[in-house]
Structure 1
Amino acid sequence: EVIHPTARMLVEISKAQDIEAGDGTTSVVVMAGALLKATTELMQKGLHPTAISDGFQVAHGKAMEVIDDISKPVDLNDRDSLIQNAITSLSSKVVSHHSDLLAPMAVDAVLKVIDKETAINVDLRNIHVSKKLGGTIDESELVDGLCFVDKKASHLAGGPTRIENAKIGLIQFPISAPKSDMESNVVVGNDAAMDRIIKEERQYILGIIKKIIASGANVLLLQKSVLREAINDLALHFLAKKKIMVIKDIERDQIDFISKTINATPVAHIDQLKPDKLGSAGLVEEVSAGGSAKIVKVTGCPNQGKTVSILLRGSNQLVLDEADRSLHDALCVVRALVKKQSLVYGGACVEMEVAHQLQQYSR
């Protein structure tokens, strides 16, 4: 934990730079450090802090004028130009030798979720990045739809692993035996009572399954349940017999993205599961990710152009995490181009020109 107030300010500057631009965190700290050093020297000469602050504000305004004058406009329809800028942001990364794959992927992902004619910003929450250990970075891909890397279709009782023309239910209630709100124990005195409990549980599960079938759903995405299992083996058996595909343990923070992608309404109670609440997709299938690993892809979604998924692969966790960070930086660079729609030349020529103009202006 950073205690010194000046050092803490530099940390916050770096964090703000990462959020706003996604890159340049080191550069902004170096520049702020140089300004602090200059401030110290000016204060030692007797200048008041307010005068120094006012001078910085004037210099900032003049610097922005110079940068605006030497910048060149960017056409969002010029994909090659956008890719070159993304490649520049990746040049200092560990995975820079994969920039010819990651840069076009970042550009295409952004262009898919914006209207190039009217866009003034990019909501990066509409681009979901999934990481799957195994393979190489070259096997990474852009998916028009959803990609579940740590989930797989239930194979219990021969459940389906491929569904075309999918009608998808986004389920937030458990398909398992009910549990009381209070901690309690049930004492069973004889075999007849045990048989009655099993029969009632079976009837309860069967009632839920019948309502799912009546809704027309042939794929279920089940949110992970904290209090009890999201779905039990009995329910999986019934659903498999009806050729309904089940993908369970969906995280809560994925629900909004999934809902937007497949145009589905999350359902919190079985009585709310109606045909108009279902999402749709051209194809839901479980595919191999190398060895015994599986991933589930949902493609042919109705809301193409609103969301997109990226599947990153890597031979080890270090490479995978570095690819994720690098891709995030590239996405942020493309987002900055969408927001400003202008760019400047690199190689420190901009900094040199700004410094020269400020020196001329100060005289």
Structure 2
Amino acid sequence: MTFDTILLNKYNTFFTNCIVAGGLSDSIKTSFGPHGMDKMIQNEKGYLITNDGATILKSIKIDHPVAKILVNLSKTQDIEAGDGTTSVVLLGGKFLSNSVSLIKNGIKVMDISNSFKHSLKISKKIIAIMSMNINLNNKSFLKDIVHVALESKLVSTYSKSICPISVDSIISIMNNQDSHDVDIKNIRIIKKIGKNLSSIELINGIVTDYTFYKKFNGTIKLEYAKIAIIQFSISNLSTDLDNSIILRSYSSMDKLIREEKKHILSICNKIKSSGCNLIIIQKSIMKESISMEALEILSNMKILVIKDVERDEISYLSESLGCIPIVDIESISEKKLGIVRLVEEKFFEDGSLIFFKKISISYCLRNTILVRASNAVLLDEAERSLIDALSVMRSIIRRRYFIPGGGTVEIEISSCLNQFQKTLTGIDVMCVESFRRTIETIPYVLSENSGMEPIQIISKLKEFHKNGKKFYGIDARKNKIVNALDSRIISPLLVFTSMLNLSIEFAIQMFKIDEFLII
């Protein structure tokens, strides 16, 4: 292999990476912004309709390694900030594809990387100047930030119902006002078909998708519940190995039945003596978790039963309700019971739910959001959008600053880098120019998807920023240029900085790849 062939393979690999990244970026850009189009994705499980970048990318089949890295980039942005999943792919793909002209002009990848890093430092300084502090007590302002994040979602029509729920649920699980992180896993989302998304409800308590065992139809309401979580079977005794019992007389059979009933009655009496009036029984994989005879006895004792609960749910309920799981009947005691002021069952079109409200333990910082919609597809999209809204609130808690949206920050960075270019010479000018043009991708696509003339809008925005009006951006709802702060077009700082860092890191990582080796 000659030196020219090696050089050709190196460039072919780089150009292929750029084409793949640019192609994937272009394929989802139509879903960006409030007027972005939705994608219908069909798979073996059915179909879904969404315009969320992370959901689209993880739902489609991708083979090329660079495209897979972009998909992981979107997942990372989703985990870190909850928003900007489409933007990070747009920028990452454009940073790479716009570098093709630089490579063709003979500029080394190391020089491009260094220039991009320096441009990123300048960008961060500009972002820091434009960012402003957030007051968590101003819930109206927090709702506006979440509202902007939901504007591009399929469920944006119901954002007035979703935004207050998202804000209140996150605030309620904070330990104190000085907390700088929350775990959104402490917020459970329950979906039920019926009504519409305006019926979304925040429950200050725990909801589980199980039912009570009962001999009659109708709802159950229990006040001051003493709850035991049981991890053993309440049924007839059996050995670990298969066995056969030979009964030679009717008296032997009667004795066996009496002994079995006596054993079950003994367990039920011990449960009753502990003061328990509601038991939750873990599902058993070896035999039935509770026999019909035990259910009858407990019912007569006025002890409610929730049976066959999965292991993961048992763990969640024990932590939430303050119960200590009981592995043996001899270890049951009042100290291991959880106290809940109100337990009630509610019926819906597709089943029932059990609500645990007014939980007595003070450290239980958990709540539940009940989502209603007319069909399963809309329910799934509502759940994804709600998780994004909660993640945006979490990013506010983590870093309590916001920036103006609508392409405002991107245009300000572009304008400042344009001035910085005038102090440079040689290849640095071309590298900074590539960075600057890539940053303008976000406002360009936003205006294009909103039906405006992108070149004209970008030119007008640059003129505004040149004249000192640095908070002017695009209002995609009204299709005009406005003061983003006055119009409450705002975004968490963490969302933007994470998006910018990840996209630059992706581009620099791709610059270093000169060959694919298949083993």
TM-score (norm 2): 0.66
> 1:146 touches 1:309 (CA, 8 Å); kept in 2?
yes
Aligned residue in 2 for 1:155: 214
Deviation per CA, 1:35-90, whole angstroms, max 9, x where unpaired? 11123332222222232222222222222221121011111111111111111111
Could you tell me which runs of 5 or more consecutive residues in structure 2 were left unpaired when the two chains were aligned: 1-60, 423-519
Larger radius of gyration: 2
> 2:219 touches 2:347 (CA, 8 Å); kept in 1?
no
Larger RCO of the pair (alpha carbons < 8 Å, separation 6+): 1
Aligned residue in 2 for 1:17: 77
Aligned residue in 2 for 1:83: 143
| 2:350 is equivalent to residue 299 of structure 1 | no
SS in 1 for 2:178: coil
- 2:327 & 2:169 partners in 1: Cα distance? 31
Deviation at 1:201, TM superposition (A): 2.5
Aligned residue in 1 for 2:448: none
- 2:420 & 2:176 partners in 1: Cα distance? 38
SS in 1 for 2:157: helix
Aligned residue in 1 for 2:367: 308
Query: Structure 1 140/231 Cα, relative in aligned 2: closer, same or farther at 3 Å?
Result: farther
Deviation at 1:189, TM superposition (A): 5.5
Deviation at 1:191, TM superposition (A): 4.0
| 2:128 is equivalent to residue 68 of structure 1 | yes
Query: Structure 1 113/190 Cα, relative in aligned 2: closer, same or farther at 3 Å?
Result: same
> 1:156 touches 1:236 (CA, 8 Å); kept in 2?
no
Deviation at 1:92, TM superposition (A): 1.2
Q: Between 139-148 and 275-284, report the one with greater CA deviation.
A: 139-148
Q: Between 247-256 and 233-242, report the one with greater CA deviation.
A: 247-256
- 1:223 & 1:340 partners in 2: Cα distance? 41
Aligned residue in 2 for 1:93: 153
Deviation at 1:190, TM superposition (A): 5.1
Deviation at 1:154, TM superposition (A): 1.0
- Give the alignment partner of residue 269 of structure 1, picking from 325, 328, 342: 328
Deviation at 1:104, TM superposition (A): 0.6
- 1:314 & 1:192 partners in 2: Cα distance? 60
Deviation per CA, 1:283-323, whole angstroms, max 9, x where unpaired? 11112224x73221111112356111111122211111111
| 2:347 is equivalent to residue 285 of structure 1 | no
> 1:144 touches 1:309 (CA, 8 Å); kept in 2?
yes
Aligned residue in 1 for 2:261: 202
Q: Between 227-236 and 91-100, report the one with greater CA deviation.
A: 227-236
Aligned residue in 2 for 1:118: 178
Deviation at 1:347, TM superposition (A): 0.9
Deviation per CA, 1:81-135, whole angstroms, max 9, x where unpaired? 1111111111111111111111111111000000342110111111111112233
| 2:194 is equivalent to residue 134 of structure 1 | yes
| 2:372 is equivalent to residue 317 of structure 1 | no
Report the residue type matching 1:229 in the other structure. Answer: E
Deviation per CA, 1:316-353, whole angstroms, max 9, x where unpaired? 11111111111101000100111111111111111111
- 1:158 & 1:136 partners in 2: Cα distance? 27
SS in 2 for 1:309: strand
Aligned residue in 2 for 1:233: 292
- 2:119 & 2:73 partners in 1: Cα distance? 19
Q: Between 7-16 and 127-136, report the one with greater CA deviation.
A: 127-136
Aligned residue in 1 for 2:163: 103
Aligned residue in 2 for 1:215: 274
- 1:322 & 1:273 partners in 2: Cα distance? 43
- 2:315 & 2:179 partners in 1: Cα distance? 22
How many corresponding residue pairs?
A: 361
- Give the alignment partner of residue 3 of structure 1, picking from 38, 52, 63: 63
> 1:129 touches 1:312 (CA, 8 Å); kept in 2?
yes
- 1:188 & 1:61 partners in 2: Cα distance? 85
SS in 1 for 2:98: helix
Could you tell me which runs of 5 or more consecutive residues in structure 1 were left unpaired when the two chains were aligned: none
SS in 1 for 2:228: strand
Deviation per CA, 1:234-275, whole angstroms, max 9, x where unpaired? 111111111111122333223343223222212222222211
Aligned residue in 1 for 2:311: 252
- 2:205 & 2:333 partners in 1: Cα distance? 23
- 1:185 & 1:42 partners in 2: Cα distance? 82
Deviation per CA, 1:134-171, whole angstroms, max 9, x where unpaired? 3322332111111123x111113799922111111122
TM-score (norm 1): 0.92
- 1:15 & 1:9 partners in 2: Cα distance? 10
Report the residue type matching 2:120 in the other structure. Answer: H
Deviation at 1:228, TM superposition (A): 2.2
> 1:160 touches 1:240 (CA, 8 Å); kept in 2?
no
Report the residue type matching 1:198 in the other structure. Answer: I
Q: Between 57-66 and 139-148, report the one with greater CA deviation.
A: 57-66
- Across the aligned residues of Structure 1 and Structure 2, the Cα RMSD in angstroms comes to 2.2
- 1:54 & 1:185 partners in 2: Cα distance? 78
Aligned residue in 1 for 2:499: none
- 2:342 & 2:320 partners in 1: Cα distance? 13
- 2:243 & 2:63 partners in 1: Cα distance? 50
SS in 2 for 1:77: coil
Report the residue type matching 2:110 in the other structure. Answer: T
Q: Percent identity?
A: 35
> 2:219 touches 2:345 (CA, 8 Å); kept in 1?
no
- 2:398 & 2:221 partners in 1: Cα distance? 40
